[in-house]
Structure 1
Amino acid sequence: MEFRFNVSDIFKKQIVELNHNLIPPDFQGDKREFWNAISRISEVINTIGEASAAAQGLTKPITTADRLRNSDHKLYLLIDQTTTSGKGAVMGMLKTGHKVLYLFDKHGQHFQVSPLCILDFYVHESHQRSGWGKYLFEHMLQAEHIQPVEVAIDRPSEKFLRFLNKHYNLNSPVKQMNNYVVFDDFFTRQSESMMSYLDPHKSSPTAQKISGDRSQQTQSSPIGRYGSVRPTCSIGQIIHSGPSAHDRRSLSQNITSQAPI
């Protein structure tokens, strides 16, 4: 994939790693050259991102300069510095980034993980089946200090799955509902700090907190003078409970003594 400008003037190495600032680590130049490089690198990223989307049958590119600028993702560009035109060319790219994912293993157990993810992978059609894809992928594995089985892959194409099967013997994909794919040994290779098991029979922390709050609630009792014991009201007792036999005799005698003769 060639451009109107000299790619080799910007990218000095065969594989260049870019992050959110879009500038190669070995870039040297003044302010004008800096902004000129940003403009050209953005054009490279957008162009190869569109080519990747077209190859995967996507309506929108996954990789753009703006998305890379506003993320913590890393983009690996594969550069051909020996083209006949002398301007260099871009042969492919691979984008990675960490994501918080909820994944199931093949037994149906549910995990929350934060693995390194392959977010986009593309080699130009003119350089496919020449070993360049494996060369780029191997560079990424070494740079990230990771094994192929330890990564999660976002929407891998059938061609990518065949690539992983051919070169790394990864032939048992565990496809997820969120369109990510991992492989059998993925869960056993994740460190405890990067993965937590989610028990489907255990209530959520929010539900546990609510339940705990309810269990701690007690019936509040009056305090101060409102909590003191009150004497029994005889009138109220008579009205609500009826007079006792003694009260009825006393009341009858009182009425008789007061009756007119």
Structure 2
Amino acid sequence: MQLPDNVLRAHTPTAEDNINGTNLKDAKRQSRWTAWADVTQSVTGGLLALFLFCHMAFTSSIQISKDLFWNLVATSGLTFIGGTEHAWAHVIFIGFITLLICLHGLTALRRFPSSYRQCRDMKGHVHLLHHFDTTLWAVQILTAVVLLVCVFPHVISMLTNPSGIGPNLSGIHAYHDGLLYTLIFLVAAETHGLIGLYRVLVKWGIWKGEREGLRKAMLVITALMILCGAATAWKFYSIGAQLVNAGQTTKYEPVNPWYEIDQMQK
């Protein structure tokens, strides 16, 4: 049955109706917290991605010498103040990174599939569209699940024992964790972080060039970070294995410290 024109054209939507929806024009506007959560997710994700580069440079110093790594740890521990390491400085910095991780995770959870049906739909989109950015989104969700399992034991161990950060004790810790755990954690962290940095640059219009070039750069940097991290992980693991097999579990004593050490505090 055909409806008469006076019923079909009883209301002509205005421009505002077209934007807001004719049935929602009088509804309460959505909370601004959604926008703030989106900004928080991007800002914390960007900071954590940049932290990955700093962390890689910091830990990779063990490849040069134990002294260099010890001196960098001593610098972050404010040893130049009073000639002794201040463990609270490590706790504050690691606590700040942990806070960023928690904020990023909580604000990102709203984008996770929350049911089997949504997971199935996401998988279907990836296979149907064959769109690179969609695939990256799926990989980022998978790596986020791995990081949820791996990251908190990692930071909690440093928060509860900040004095254990050093060439010897960090090596022993890496040996007891095992290479498999370390490599899984490494691949997940670097992949998730670099994909996240790519998405932030594209989403907020920071990158003005072609996406293809940025994607290629991201993939190359991710591979280099994983290779560098794997070499560093093997170095720490080897140090730990050597010390454990020799029965030596003491802190490392630097040969050429950058700062004068208070002998009473050694």
TM-score range, shorter chain: under 0.3
Higher Rg of the two aligned structures: 1
TM-score (norm 1): 0.19
Q: TM-score, normalised by structure 2?
A: 0.19
The structure in which a higher percent of residues are helix is 2
